[in-house]
């Protein structure tokens, strides 16, 4: 349907779609890359939304940028710069696992660009906490096979045990992790997140999407954090829920976008 006026025309349906379009920035977890969101991103784009899946410095296709200085602050800057240089606003900022550390830091630095935070089986840090502080058992497991390469301590090597911990059982998903998972700079896991804008991040709406196993093994304090959102959803699947349940994750994100 076209509406004409003043010698120009506009596709009304296109204008409506643009009005309703949401902007998603999907941040991956430790050892992963933007590649892990391929299925979810395709579903969101098919629904007419704008989707960014940046890869953090030192991982995936940006592995050549890894240095001894790569840490949590580097990764927070990666995403802040994505928001700034792509001029993204009203963003639905999504973080998986370690990505919860990253999006919390981004929300502290650039709250004016964010509409809502979505934590996918993710860390929920408070001011002054590292991932080692919030997930000590998981981090002990990640560091058990750590190695120093070119002066950089790398943890979370993609061993069979580590891949199994991601909760993927489909052979194609397991093959994907074997091919693309990478070790993660330990410095990023042990750096403490320091807020610079007080409670700015806490004031943003948040949705928590938790995997059943994570909730079952959580301490009371951890469970309180995992369920402190404006929306709290539980999915009975493995930790890499964006790979194992892309349709369910996409549907939840579409619900957030439409609310």
pLDDT tens-digit readout, 13-26: 433 344 489 999 99
Position 194 scores a pLDDT of 97
Domains contained in the chain, number: 1
Classify residue 76 by its DSSP letter.
H
Query: In CATH, what number is assigned to the domain containing residue 73?
Result: 3.40.50.1820
- Over residues 22-73, the pLDDT tens digits come to 999 999 999 999 999 999 999 999 999 999 999 999 999 999 999 999 999 9
Domain membership of residue 100 (yes or no) is: yes
Question: Are 205 and 116 a contacting pair, CB within 8 Å?
Answer: yes
Domain membership of residue 178 (yes or no) is: no
Question: Are 111 and 201 a contacting pair, CB within 8 Å?
Answer: yes
Catalytic residue among 73, 97, 214, 219: 97
Q: Identify the three-state secondary structure at position 186.
A: helix
- Over residues 70-110, the pLDDT tens digits come to 999 999 999 999 999 999 999 999 999 999 999 999 999 99
**Residue 4: pLDDT above 70?**
no
Q: Does 130 participate in catalysis according to the annotation?
A: no
CA distances from 191 to 37, 55, 59, 163, 170 (A): 25, 19, 17, 24, 34
Domain membership of residue 199 (yes or no) is: yes
pLDDT band at 6 (very low <50, low <70, confident <90, very high): very low
Domain membership of residue 42 (yes or no) is: yes
Domain span holding position 214: 2-129+193-258
Residue with tokens 């990640």: 142
Position 218 scores a pLDDT of 87
Domain membership of residue 97 (yes or no) is: yes
Domain membership of residue 69 (yes or no) is: yes
């Amino acid at each position: 349907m076209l509406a004409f006026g003043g010698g120009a025309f506009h596709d009304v349906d296109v204008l409506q779609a643009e009005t309703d379009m949401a902007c998603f920035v999907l941040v991956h977890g430790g050892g992963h890359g933007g590649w892990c969101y391929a299925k979810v991103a395709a579903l969101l784009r098919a629904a007419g939304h704008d989707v960014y899946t940046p890869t953090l410095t030192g991982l995936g296709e940006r592995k050549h940028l890894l240095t001894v200085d790569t840490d949590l602050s580097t990764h927070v800057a990666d995403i802040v710069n994505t928001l700034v240089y792509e001029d993204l606003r009203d963003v639905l900022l999504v973080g998986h696992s370690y990505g919860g550390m990253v999006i919390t830091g981004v929300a502290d630095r650039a709250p004016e660009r964010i509409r809502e935070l979505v934590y996918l089986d993710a860390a929920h840090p408070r001011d002054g906490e590292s991932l080692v502080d919030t997930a000590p058992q998981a981090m002990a497991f990640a560091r058990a096979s750590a190695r120093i390469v070119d002066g950089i301590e790398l943890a979370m090597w993609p061993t069979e045990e580590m891949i199994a911990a991601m909760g993927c059982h489909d052979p194609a998903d397991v093959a994907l992790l074997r091919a693309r998972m990478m070790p993660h700079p330990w410095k990023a896991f042990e750096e403490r997140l320091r807020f610079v804008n007080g409670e700015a991040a806490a004031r943003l709406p948040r949705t928590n999407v938790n995997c059943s196993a994570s909730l079952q093994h959580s301490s009371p304090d951890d469970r309180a954090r995992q369920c402190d959102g404006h929306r709290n959803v539980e999915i009975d699947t493995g930790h890499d829920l964006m790979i194992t349940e892309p349709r369910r994750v996409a549907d939840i994100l579409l619900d957030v976008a439409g609310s």
